[in-house]
């Protein structure tokens, strides 16, 4: 099975958790990124639609599309560009010639991956994110025409006999 999809929207991180206490003094854990839930929900909906188109998964109660075995997952995170990457000419914004391609600022790539992997598990792509054995991850500035998002390719890795 191979799934290639563009997930539009600003990728969110799954960072640390905060501990809160209710009025009876019991502790509970909440994620410290308030935007994570909305982004995760949109990823789940888009991936489930893509899986339904491939015929791999029809309902969320069914087993995952890749229930076992190693997976290759390529994730290219396209993050929004800051205003300083643009130049105004005649009332229109243009990307500067010296604007960088690679994103070397926060958010951290591993926290972006953690949020994406958990969303893919909830969407029913695989049973456990420990199945991800290979793949590329890149963090770049978004193309102004396309906007921010995640370019995602997931596929099963076929076992090769070594005889």
Tell me, what CATH number does 12's domain have? 3.30.1330.70
7 is a domain residue: yes
pLDDT in tens, 45-82: 999 898 888 876 656 566 778 888 899 999 999 999 99
Whose tokens are 């309902």? That residue is: 59
| Average pLDDT over every residue of 15-38 | 83
Q: Mean pLDDT score of the chain, rounded to an integer? A: 89
CB 118 within 8 A of CB 40: yes
- Of the pLDDT bands very low, low, confident and very high (cuts 50, 70, 90), residue 160 is confident
For residue 59, tell me if it sits in a domain.
Answer: yes
Q: Flag whether 40 is in a domain.
A: yes
Q: CA nearest 103: which of 131, 47, 142, 55?
A: 142
Q: Indicate whether 163 belongs to any domain.
A: no
22 located within any domain: yes
Model confidence pLDDT, tens digit, residues 77-101:
999 999 999 998 888 889 999 999 9
75 belongs to a structural domain: yes
Specify whether the CB–CB gap between 131 and 52 falls below 8 A.
no
Q: Could you give the CA distance from residue 136 to residue 115 in angstroms, rounded to a whole number? A: 16
Residue 19 pLDDT > 90: no
Task: Kindly state whether residue 97 falls inside one of the protein's structural domains.
Answer: yes
Whether 162 is in a domain gets the answer no
Q: Give the integer Cα–Cα distance in Å for 51 and 49.
A: 5
pLDDT at 35 over 80: no
* Stated pTM of the model: 0.85
Model pLDDT, residue 133:
93
Measured distance between the N- and C-terminal CA atoms of the chain, rounded to whole angstroms: 25
Residues 126, 97: Cα–Cα separation, whole Å: 41
What is the count of structural domains for the chain?
Answer: 1
What are the residues whose beta carbons fall under 8 Å from the beta carbon of 123, sequence distance 6 or more?
Answer: 43, 44, 47, 48, 51
Domain of residue 109, residue span: 2-156
Tokens matching residue 26: 């019991």
């Amino acid at each position: 099975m191979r799934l290639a999809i563009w997930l539009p929207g600003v990728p969110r991180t799954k960072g640390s958790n905060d501990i809160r206490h209710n009025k009876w003094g019991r502790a509970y854990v909440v994620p410290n990124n308030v935007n994570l839930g909305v982004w995760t929900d949109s990823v789940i909906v888009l991936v489930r639609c893509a899986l339904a188109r491939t015929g791999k998964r029809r309902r969320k109660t069914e087993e995952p599309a890749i229930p076992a075995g190693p997976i290759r997952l390529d994730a290219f995170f396209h993050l929004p560009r800051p205003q300083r990457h643009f130049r105004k000419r005649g009332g229109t914004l243009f990307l500067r010639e010296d604007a960088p391609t690679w994103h070397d600022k926060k958010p951290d790539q591993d926290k972006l991956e953690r949020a994406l992997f958990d969303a893919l598990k909830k969407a029913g792509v695989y049973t456990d994110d420990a199945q991800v054995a290979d793949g590329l991850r890149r963090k770049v500035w978004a193309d102004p025409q396309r906007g921010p998002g995640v370019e995602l390719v997931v596929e099963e890795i076929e076992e090769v006999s070594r005889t």
